[in-house]
Amino acid sequence: MPPAWASCPDVEVVFARGTDEPPGVGRVGQAFINSLRQHTRKNVGAYAVNYPANKDFLAATDGANDASSHVKQMANNCRNTKLVLGGYSQGAAVIDIVTAAPLSGLGFHQPLPTEAADHVAAVALFGNPSGRGGGLMSALTPNFDGKTIDLCNQGDPICSNGNQWKAHLGYVPGMTNQAASFVAGRL
């Protein structure tokens, strides 16, 4: 089988699924990718971040290491491919680590060098747990200023002080389309 970069897409979405979703990009990720394809009419590839996505939230660093490693590979092998990072719920926390942690620590050992981060055109986050902390993660590195859309449905208990679980499950299609429009504008 040829390496993933044997055929470089115009755009590649590196997406981390939410807790307990089966391996792949998940429901929110797939809806976002489909909408992005419609908004851009470009060849949009997808990479599903490899991590457990289970109740062990410390394993989010496994996903961050995998996502960061993939971004570095794409930046080195597909120099003209625009990269988009995305995540839903726990997957948003995975991407927070990649975009906000400029140093190794707590199991994260693949920080993105600036030259790799420069290949990231946009970041789309849905139901991000760091929203409950005021979005502190995004304040750690300036590499993604103006490139990030961090969406939280009103009432979502994961990203706000809400108490409506259905709000956490309701990102498709409204918010995925909104994020795709934002990202398309940065491609």
> 15 is written with which tokens?
């997406």
Per the annotation, the verdict on 156 as an active-site residue is: yes
Per the annotation, the verdict on 119 as an active-site residue is: no
Per the annotation, the verdict on 89 as an active-site residue is: yes
Neighbours of 38 (CB within 10 A): 12
Q: What is the separation of C-alpha 94 from the centre of its chain, rounded to a whole number of angstroms?
A: 7
Selecting among 35, 89, 130, 138, the annotated active-site residue is 89
Q: Quick check: 96 and 161 in contact, CB under 8 A?
A: no
Selecting among 68, 96, 156, 160, the annotated active-site residue is 156
Q: Starting from the edge strand earliest in sequence, which strands make up the sheet with 11-16, in order? A: 44-48, 11-16, 82-88, 120-126, 148-151
Instruction: Catalogue the active-site residues.
Output: 89, 156, 168
